[in-house]
A and B are shown apart, each in its own frame.
Chain A
Amino acid sequence: VQLHESGPRLVKPSGTLSLTCAVSGDSFSSPKWWSWVRQSPGKGLEWIGEIYHSRSANYNPSLKTRVTMSVDKSKNQFSLRLTSVTAADTAVYYCARVRASAAGLFDSWGQGILVTVSS
């Protein structure tokens, strides 16, 4: 399986960050969770949230009010939307597949995309 993140690499403060993860080698027709994780400069990894193939979602409580995830089964991709961004949201954003047999275990990752929040 391969995952590839895409989207704008520069977002203005107070704007909306929108990213897409294209998945190849796996199908959204089989039930599993798909996730987003980020890494701010000089910091560790932070789980953002996850979405199920049937469009149920769970979000990190610290980001819950600003995050929305969605799935497009026809395109075999899922998306992240983060509103009201600030410089603190500058990070490398990774998409990942959650192992079907183990909730919360990320067994495949994309290479990541650096998104900078700046005017």
Chain B
Amino acid sequence: DIQMTQSPSTLSASVGDRVTITCRASQSISSRLAWYQHKPGKAPKLLIYDASSLESGVPSRFSGSGSGTDFTLTISSLQPDDFATYYCQQYNNFSWTFGQGTKVEI
């Protein structure tokens, strides 16, 4: 299986901050990487797919970049609704695998 490693595990930030989360794959996954937002007790939400494509309805302050093994999720100006845990996931190689998550907290 491809291992997905996210950093940091926890990130403390304030409203208005620019936030960057990184995800590294143990081998090349081309651009087949997704980012999800997850809040306690709620369904995970797809934010970014194909490394940099914004899912319909997702605010433009979210952006993704990268290819091969190194990827980033950026929130340009953190909003109160953005405090959550973020996961990357590769869908290039079966079986599909997730990063361990990055919790964005105040």
Query: What residues of chain A have their CB less than 8 Å away from a CB belonging to chain B?
Result: 3, 43-47, 58, 60-61, 94, 96, 99, 102-112
Contact = CB atoms under 8 A, between A and B. Distances in A.
- Majority secondary structure, B binding face: loop
B11 interface: no
B32 to A, nearest CB: 7
A107 B41 contact: no
Interface residues of B, number: 26
A104 B97 CA distance: 9
Interface of B: 1, 32, 34, 36, 41-46, 49-50, 55, 87, 89-92, 94-101
Nearest to A107: B46
B42 A45 contact: no
Which 5 pairs across A and B sit closest by C-beta, in order of nearness? Answer: A104-B91, A109-B43, A45-B98, A44-B100, A104-B96
Contacts of B49: 99, 102, 105, 107
Contact of B41 (A47, A106, A111): A111
